[in-house]
Amino acid sequence: MAGFFIAVTVFLAGHIIPGLLRERLVRRIGYRPYIIAFSILSVLLFGWVIHEVLVAESFLLWDYQTWQAQLLVVVMLPACILWACAILQPCPLSIGRKTGFDPAKPGINRFCRHPLLLGMILWGAGHTIANGDIVAVLFFGGSSIFALIGFWRMEKIRLRGMTDGEQAILLAATRRFSLSGLKGAFRGRDILAGIVLYLLILGGHGHVIGVDPLAMAGW
């Protein structure tokens, strides 16, 4: 299990340190190169953590039951749609595109300012329940908590440097999380892209991770 903790430590450091040095790095290399480099680093470190999760020695905290995998398969669909929204819609206060936001048409931001992070919470919670071993609880459960903390962290980062007036407009037009904002949050292309992503993950999971979600769910 030592490899797992080392990978997680490096993963967290790979997010915290660039965040602390963000302004200095952006000034030196530019915003786009910073985002590209940070994204590549994040993917590589995340892949390392996933590998360690798969090979780490662990023990069960609760017994596996079919409904747990069924719940995960169901939960992943809204998670994928949220991720699609984070890519296709502007998310001025979170991870995603900053430009093009219209306060009169906030879209997903009226429901949740952080669709990518909310999707990660669903992903992490679903995998925690479905796996039930200590490593899965630490990794997937920890990922959900990390994503939840990111709600406040990302808002602080994105609001930095804005005028009081700009902050007031964004905060008034968006919500951290509000079910009343569901109406108008999702467009047709968001849902379609989310379904395509969901099917790709569902079909490729067994080949990449080595576990077939549908088989585990008994479907």
pLDDT at 127: 96
Which of 10-24, 97-111, 197-211 is predicted least confidently?
10-24
Which of 9-13, 17-21, 33-37, 190-194 is predicted least confidently?
17-21
Q: Is the pLDDT of residue 19 over 80?
A: no
Kindly indicate the confidence band of residue 3, based on its pLDDT and cuts at 50, 70 and 90.
confident
The neighbouring-strand residues paired with 133 are 60
Q: What are the structure tokens assigned to 106, written together?
A: 């906030």
pLDDT tens digits, residue range 110-145? 999 999 999 999 999 999 999 999 999 999 999 999
CA-CA distance, 191 to 187, in Å (whole number)? 6
Distance of CA 196 to the CA centre of its chain: 17
Q: What are the structure tokens assigned to 8, written together?
A: 């997680």
CA-CA distance, 102 to 90, in Å (whole number)? 9
Kindly indicate the confidence band of residue 35, based on its pLDDT and cuts at 50, 70 and 90.
confident
Instruction: Identify which has the larger pLDDT, 84 or 18.
Output: 84
**Concatenated DSSP letters of 155-195:** HHHHHTT--HHHHHHHHHH--SS-GGG-TTT--HHHHHHHH
Residues in the chain: 219
CA-CA distance, 216 to 130, in Å (whole number)? 9
In the predicted model, what is the mean pLDDT of residues 139-164? 92
